[in-house]
Amino acid sequence: MKIARHQRIAALLTQSQSLTTDQLALLLGVSKETVRRDLSELQQQGKIQRSHGRARAIRRDNQGNEAPFHARLKSHYAHKSDIARHALAWIDEGMTIALDASSTCWFLARQLPDIPITVFTNSHPVCMELGKREHIRLISSGGELQRQYGYYVNPALVSQLKMLEIDLFIFSCEGVDRNGVMWDPSGHNASYKSLLLKRASQSLLLMDKSKFNRSSEVRIGPISDVTHLISDVEPEAIL
């Protein structure tokens, strides 16, 4: 709970110039005392700066190790497309599914038949692809578009998801380490994935073999939280 809240605070502060303790408490739905404790810990970790009742993210010249969307599309694309094809068996008419902003989910969107389902996503390329279908009800997370990385950042995501019952969350991640922890380079995406994992009835992790035994900047959660894994290699042979 606290880790997810810290990730949420970091994402909110990255999007905004700065926020007050009162504003953060309102956005997170927690007490001001809880926010103050969180901010103190984040400040000690060197992730934020505090001044006169306000907090702001420490700006860096890049977004960690996050690769632009077009670069991710070219990486292991044949494996990703095949993995995405296997995920189609999990999707039935009438379902509400959520997709993340991974390139693997974009390959899935390209192969998704035009059937009556609801798709929720924070991915701009997925929205562009599924916007061509007549029978798919498409819901975007909205917010500010991060064009280089192909996803939207919306501080109101928690409130938005209260209106949806997610049957299946399909996603990928930057890596899973030897302890079975999932990681991502972006705090925004890690927060999105952590939240959807909690909200969805089932979850499906799509991973090619290059992502095993890897970590990144931001923790998503344990792979044990995932219902099922689809990969191009048996995970027991790597983890």
**Extended strands (E) in the chain:** 19-20, 48-51, 54-57, 96-99, 118-121, 137-140, 144-146, 151-153, 168-171, 175-176, 181-184, 202-207, 218-222, 228-231
The pLDDT assigned to 75 comes to 63
Residue 143, domain member (yes or no):
yes
Residues 6 and 97 grouped into a single domain: no
Residue 64, domain member (yes or no):
no
pLDDT at residue 201 above 70?
A: yes
Q: Which stretch of DSSP H or E encloses residue 8?
A: helix 2-15
Residues 146 and 232 grouped into a single domain: yes
Confidence of residue 238 (pLDDT cuts 50, 70, 90): very low
The number of folded domains in the chain is: 2
The pLDDT assigned to 8 comes to 86
Residue 62, domain member (yes or no):
no
Q: How does pLDDT run across 93-107, given as a tens digit for each residue?
A: 999 999 999 999 999
What integer is the mean pLDDT of 143-169? Answer: 91
CA distance 169 to 203: 5
Residue 81, domain member (yes or no):
yes
How open is the CA angle 91-92-98, to the nearest 5 degrees?
A: 45
Residues 141 and 217 grouped into a single domain: yes
The pLDDT assigned to 46 comes to 63
The pLDDT assigned to 155 comes to 86
Residues 42 and 111 grouped into a single domain: no
Helices 2-15, 21-28: axis angle to 10 degrees equals 120
The pLDDT assigned to 61 comes to 40
pLDDT at residue 226 above 50?
A: yes
What integer is the mean pLDDT of 191-205? Answer: 96
Which residue has better confidence, 6 or 77?
Answer: 6
Confidence of residue 76 (pLDDT cuts 50, 70, 90): low
Q: Which of 135-144, 212-221, 229-238 has the lowest mean pLDDT?
A: 229-238
- 118 lies in which domain range? 69-237
Residue 107, domain member (yes or no):
yes
Q: Are 25 and 31 in contact (CB under 8 A)?
A: yes
The pLDDT assigned to 95 comes to 98
What integer is the mean pLDDT of 120-149? Answer: 95
The pLDDT assigned to 145 comes to 92
